[in-house]
């Protein structure tokens, strides 16, 4: 049974849909000649909260319009996002009234340096090719200085059934620094095959090192490590730009700020570049279960990372 949650006042945010303001900005985004629905506003609202993993989360809604990433339509209602009797979070992609509705949740309290652990249930190594499950950090206010404070674990094949299905990224993952437009040292791609129904994915974030890792089963058992990506401060700082021609300063390891949060989203890739996420290839709804989440601040983890950035 879906738990009943209390609504709170809607917080309206402008959702800038240029590449730097969308998760996984390193993914190639060729410009489209026309948006799919140019008359619909691109906005993000947070009209509802849920309680999951002993934390309060805001649930994202695009208020009938579109929001990044994708862009997509997002729904915050209890048919789209809920916590079950076992305390597990359910995110969905479903079609209603002719629209595919995606889902996203955001920690209400800010997060910074430390460790983020996400526990998943299900065949997340076998998602529809057009579907992306994102486990990441994000900040709407730090693009210019810290590439939105974005660190990603993404489970997706980016609309290519033959592509690898697990992606780690420390942003900025793309920009004008290289001929290819990509910063390959900031991205790792793995072909993940799960051995059971559970998997665990973790981000460790400090001023000098980011580590992303995935494990078979529940918990971070080193004997069950699937893959690991270490990005340290010996790498070159990189710049990125957006569709408006603005450019960041050089960024090495992005810093958090008091407005940085952890997010989990389930959304549709826009492979045909019509500025609207493409439906699942089989036309069927998607449901993903997150059985646990834990954030341990750096000060509690005892890793010397320091407190959340100013």
Question: Would you list the DSSP string of 241-310?
Answer: B-TTS-B---BSSPPP-TT-EEEEEEEE--TT-SSSPPPPTT---EEEEEEEEEEEEHHHHTSS--S---
- pLDDT category at 304 given cuts 50, 70, 90 is very low
Cα(215)–Cα(62) distance, integer angstroms = 33
4 in a structural domain? no
Is the model's pLDDT at 38 over the cut of 90? no
- The model's confidence at residue 176, banded by pLDDT at 50, 70 and 90, is very high
| pLDDT of 42 | 81
Residue 82 lies in a domain: yes
| pLDDT the model gives residue 301 | 64
Residue 233 domain-assigned?
yes
Q: How confident is the model at residue 8 (pLDDT cuts 50, 70, 90)?
A: very low
Confidence of residue 300 (pLDDT cuts 50, 70, 90): confident
Residue 178, SS3? coil
Q: What is the mean pLDDT of the chain?
A: 87
29 burial level (CB within 10 Å; 0-12, 13-18, 19+): middle
For 117-139, what is the mean pLDDT? 98
CB atoms within 10 A of CB 54: 8
pLDDT given at position 298: 95
Q: In which domain, by residue range, is 110 found?
A: 12-301
Question: For position 236, what pLDDT does the model report?
Answer: 97
pLDDT at residue 310, as a whole number: 31
* C-beta separation of 211 from 224 below 8 A: no
Q: Is residue 1 part of a domain?
A: no
Could you tell me how far CA 75 lies from the centroid of its own chain?
A: 16
Residue 246 placed within a domain: yes
Residue 7 falls inside a structural domain: no
Average confidence (pLDDT) over 170-195? 96
**Percent of the chain whose pLDDT exceeds 90:** 81
Q: pTM for the complete prediction?
A: 0.87
Position 41 in a domain: yes
Nearest of 245, 242, 276, 275 to residue 32 by alpha carbon: 275
Question: Is the distance from CB of 120 to CB of 199 less than 8 angstroms?
Answer: yes
Report residue 12 as tokens. Answer: 């309206």
In this predicted structure, the answer to whether residue 225 has a pLDDT above a threshold of 60 is yes
Alpha carbon distance 64, 78 (integer Å): 16
Q: How many CB atoms lie within 10 A of CB 64?
A: 13
Domain tally for the chain? 1
pLDDT-derived band at 243 (thresholds 50, 70, 90) equals: confident
Higher pLDDT, 28 or 241: 241
In a domain, 24, yes or no: yes
HSE value, Cβ hemisphere, 13 Å, CA-based, for 24: 29
Pairing verdict, β 99-107 and 73-74: parallel
Q: What is the CATH number of the domain that holds 216?
A: 2.60.120.200
Please check whether residue 208 is in contact with residue 52, taking contact to mean a CB–CB distance below 8 angstroms. Answer: no
In 3D space, the residue among 137, 186, 126 whose CA is nearest the CA of residue 161 turns out to be 126
> pLDDT exceeding 70 applies to what percent of the chain?
84
Q: Are 121 and 293 in contact (CB under 8 A)?
A: no
Confidence of residue 40 (pLDDT cuts 50, 70, 90): low
């Amino acid at each position: 049974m879906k738990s009943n949650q209390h609504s709170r006042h809607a917080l309206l945010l402008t959702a800038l849909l240029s590449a730097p303001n969308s998760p996984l900005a390193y993914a190639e985004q060729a410009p489209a000649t026309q948006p799919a629905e140019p008359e619909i506003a691109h906005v993000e609202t947070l009209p509802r909260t849920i309680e999951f993993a002993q934390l309060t989360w805001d649930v994202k809604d695009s208020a009938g319009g579109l929001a990044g990433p994708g862009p997509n339509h997002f729904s915050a209602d209890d048919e789209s996002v809920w916590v079950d009797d076992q305390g597990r979070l359910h995110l969905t992609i479903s079609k209603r009234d002719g629209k595919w509705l995606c889902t996203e949740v955001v920690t209400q309290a800010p997060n910074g340096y430390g460790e983020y652990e996400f526990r998943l249930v299900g065949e997340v190594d076998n998602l529809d090719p057009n579907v992306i499950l994102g486990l990441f950090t994000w900040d709407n206010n730090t693009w210019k200085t810290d590439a939105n404070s974005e660190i990603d674990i993404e489970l997706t094949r980016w609309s290519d059934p033959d592509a690898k299905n697990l992606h780690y990224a420390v942003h900025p993952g793309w920009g004008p620094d290289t001929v290819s437009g990509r910063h390959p040292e900031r991205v790792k791609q793995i072909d993940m095959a799960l051995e059971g129904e559970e998997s665990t994915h973790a981000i460790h974030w400090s001023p000098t090192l980011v580590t992303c890792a995935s494990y078979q089963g529940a918990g971070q058992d080193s004997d069950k490590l699937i893959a690991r990506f270490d990005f340290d401060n010996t790498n070159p700082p990189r710049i990125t730009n957006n569709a408006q021609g603005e450019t960041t300063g050089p960024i090495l390891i992005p810093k958090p700020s008091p407005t940085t949060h952890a997010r989990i989203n389930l959304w549709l890739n826009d492979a045909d570049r019509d500025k609207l996420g493409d439906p699942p290839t089989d036309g069927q709804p998607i449901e993903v279960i997150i059985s646990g989440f834990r954030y341990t601040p750096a000060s509690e983890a005892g890793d010397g990372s320091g407190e959340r950035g100013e």
